[in-house]
Structure 1
Amino acid sequence: MILVTGGAGYIGSHAALALLEAGHEVLVLDNLSNSSEVALQRVEQLAGRPLNFVQGDVRNRALLKALFASYPIKAVMHFAGLKAVGESVREPLRYYETNVGGSIALCQAMADAGVFRLVFSSSATVYGEASLMPISEDCPLGVPTNPYGQSKLMAENVLRGLAESDPRWSIGLLRYFNPIGAHPSGLIGEDPDGIPNNLLPFMLQVAVGRRQELNIYGTDYATVDGTGVRDYIHVLDLVNGHLKALNRLQEQTGVSVWNLGTGKGYSVFEMVCAFEQVLGRPLPCRLRPRRPGDIAQCWSDPRKAARELDWKAEHGLQQMLADAWNWQRSNPHGYAQPQPQRIAMPAALAS
């Protein structure tokens, strides 16, 4: 059985589905703070088999102890955490407590239960504002420009120290670039709580009519067109990398690091243009100043994952955007059901 923390979230739900389809038994732990149990119901629908779900927080040590005592967990995929760059700048302590403290609590429970195989959801933000592109795993770790990235780097350092202290640990640090897309069925996808912090979810909500216009933050970066450049990867390719890493960790101990990206960067303007082609209509946009914590450009060198995991991204940008739009168009309010409008009763009938 594989424990998937944060398994009701965007990436976690796709990973839970992939694990079920690969024949694994799955236990999801999620506090539903930025996710929905509906996603798990749809995962079961797509997989044609059930999973186990416990609602709770990864920082709850008593709960973790009970889970490892009650279920035959053999390995963990750890997605539970906070991930919005802008929010982390406003609430840094919350990010450190959840992303670092939660990882520590999880690892203590794993060690107590004799479970030592862990796939950790990290981020390319640990490289900071790298001067050379593409970014390989050999690039020096920088000083992340926001508390979100700092919390991921701190968690990585905790895991490195853990593996150095005990040779039984087998840990994979998967450094994501920018996951987008959705399952092609349109049943599961990204459903951020509140105002989206990432580019594509915001574009999708504008396209579906939930928001008036897209804010483009920063047009004066030293990039091809002045807007930020990122490496976008389909969520299905991303979770396939997790399964490959999980299998690889059965064969080795210590800490392994793999970038998961496509190796190609797209600017914000290029993303908007490509999405407009999928939509068949223009997307209203407004240019705004840079946001604190954002960097100019970031894309991956994924050759190490290709060499060691036999993995590479298969989906192109148009497919990523088409699958994302299929999800949003099929679920304009995400997993939530729209609230019915109240119709005022005529006074004559109310009396």
Structure 2
Amino acid sequence: MAEKILVTGGAGYIGSHCVLELVEAGYIPVVIDNFHNAIRGGDALPESLQRVQEIVGKKILFQELDILDEAALQELFQKHHFSAVMHFAGLKAVGESVQKPLEYYKVNLTGTIRLLETMKAHGVRDIVFSSSATVYGDPAYLPLDENHPVGGCTNPYGKSKYFIEEMIRDLCKAEKDWNAILLRYFNPIGAHESGRIGEDPQGIPNNLMPYVAQVAVGRREYLSVFGDDYKTADGTGVRDYIHVVDLAKGHIAALKKLKENCGCKIYNLGTGCGYSVLQMIKAMEKASGREVRVLTQATPHTPEGPWCRRDRRGKD
């Protein structure tokens, strides 16, 4: 019998791609989302999951639910027998986290605590957590590996990921029947080969490639690139980008690792290869056949996106 996997925040960019890969791998994903970052579609489904259904030809189980709602979580776990949880739910904009730190700590930390407590109450002890390479802070050496010190985060978003990692690590130490995989992402980009799901954020994009795409299709006039004096081939910042489908397949591998009663394991998800901002822009121009207008400016004091930060770390 196919295993049921709870996917929190599964209507988002990364979550929806993981839902698709779960179905393809023979699992039954049960998705919860509160529509904070998702667009509503028909049939009471987020649009992203409606498209996943069309791609896989199977119904996706979905419930609108906020992980801060303890009673709703309890009811969900009573209704389904989950073998594991993939945890994506949370607030994720770096700049916004600086402006609203308490909201980020409340949603990301308190929501995770309630999820873990509900899992414990219902005998579910396996979790894959969507973390971030921001937990490393400023690098002491490159390339970054899993042995690099953590905790030097520069914003509340990154700190919330670090604190959640610490909570899960402590839980696994205290209760040996827990198994957790902490996946530290670098910079996810791209879309499923069908072109039906991908990254299309509401409002001003927080990440480089959706902004580039919006300029390419004429939704935005130009892309501001801040800083042209990095010690790189073209003077713009270099980052490690990983295709979102490869990232999703990494989550399937993590689920299989949990079956080994692995305790708490940590893995970076990246490629180890860096590409500059201008290289990414040129790649989009080549793929789309559209010109992407670029405006190079001095580094601002309040950057609006990851392509603006004077950041040589190469991570999200």
Matched, 1:60 2:69: yes
2:298 is the counterpart of 1:298 = no
Question: How many Å apart are 1:295 and its aligned residue?
Answer: 5.5
Q: Which residue of 1 aligns with 2:8?
A: 5
Letter in 1 for 2:190: G
The alignment yields a C-alpha RMSD, in angstroms, of: 1.6
Picking from 162, 172, 189, the partner of 2:171 is 162
Alignment of 1:19 with 2:28, yes or no, is no
Shift of 1:281: 3.9
On the 8 A contact 1:42/1:188 being kept in 2, the answer is yes
| Matched position secondary structure for 1:74 | strand
Contact kept? 1:227, 1:268, Cα under 8 Å: yes
Aligned pair in 2 of structure 1 residues 104, 221: CA closer, same or farther (>3 Å)?
farther
Decide whether the 8 Å contact of 1:223 with 1:297 is kept in 2: no
> 1:211 is matched with which residue: 217, 220, 243?
220
Distance 1:127 1:224, change over 3 A: farther
Map 1:310-321 → 2, pairs under 5 A? none
Gaps of 5+ in 1: 301-351
Q: 1:123-272 to 2 correspondence within 5 Å?
A: 123-272=132-281
Change (3 A) 1:184 1:129: same
Deviation at 1:224? 4.1
Deviations 1:307-327 (A, max 9, x none): xxxxxxxxxxxxxxxxxxxxx
Aligned to 2:56: 47
Which is higher, the Rg of structure 1 or of structure 2?
A: 1
Q: TM-score, normalised by structure 1?
A: 0.82
Q: Taking structure 2 as the reference length, what is the TM-score of the superposition? A: 0.91
- Counterpart CA distance in 2 for 1:287 and 1:299 is 19
Q: CA deviation at 1:59?
A: 1.4
Tell me, what secondary structure is at the counterpart of 2:250?
helix
Deviation sequence 1:196-232 (CA, Å, 0-9, x none): 0110010011111111111213334444443222110
Counterpart-to-counterpart distance in 1, 2:51 and 2:208: 25
Q: CA deviation at 1:74?
A: 1.1
Query: What amino acid sits opposite 2:311 in the alignment?
Result: A
1:279-310 CA-to-partner distances (Å, cap 9, x unmatched) read 3343111223244594523358xxxxxxxxxx
The code of the aligned residue for 1:192 comes to P
Distance 2:30 2:310 in 1: 36
Gaps of 5+ in 2: 40-45
Q: Counterpart of 1:93?
A: 102
CA distance in 2, matches of 1:169, 1:99: 20
Amino-acid identity (%): 52
C-alpha separation in 2, matches of 1:118 and 1:143: 25
| Cα shift at 1:107 | 0.5
**Cα distance in structure 1, aligned partners of 2:104 and 2:255:** 26
Q: Is the 8 A contact 1:135 1:299 kept in 2?
A: no
Partner AA of 1:28 in structure 2: V
The answer to whether the 8 Å contact 1:64/1:109 transfers is yes
Change (3 A) 1:137 1:251: same
Question: Alpha-carbon deviation of 1:93?
Answer: 1.4
1:133 CA drift (Å): 1.4
CA distance in 2, matches of 1:138, 1:206: 39
Worse overlay, 215-224 or 280-289 = 215-224
Deviates more, 1:106-115 or 1:249-258: 249-258
Offset at residue 273 of structure 1 (A): 2.0
Cα separation, 2, equivalents of 1:224 and 1:165: 48
Cα gap change, 1:240 to 1:65, in 2 (>3 Å) = same
SS in 1 for 2:54: helix
Hey, what's the Cα distance between the residues in 2 that align with 1:52 and 1:75?
Answer: 15
AA paired with 2:313?
A: C
**CA-to-partner distance for each residue in 1:68-122, whole Å, 9 max, x for gaps?**
0011111000011111111111111111111212111111110011001000000
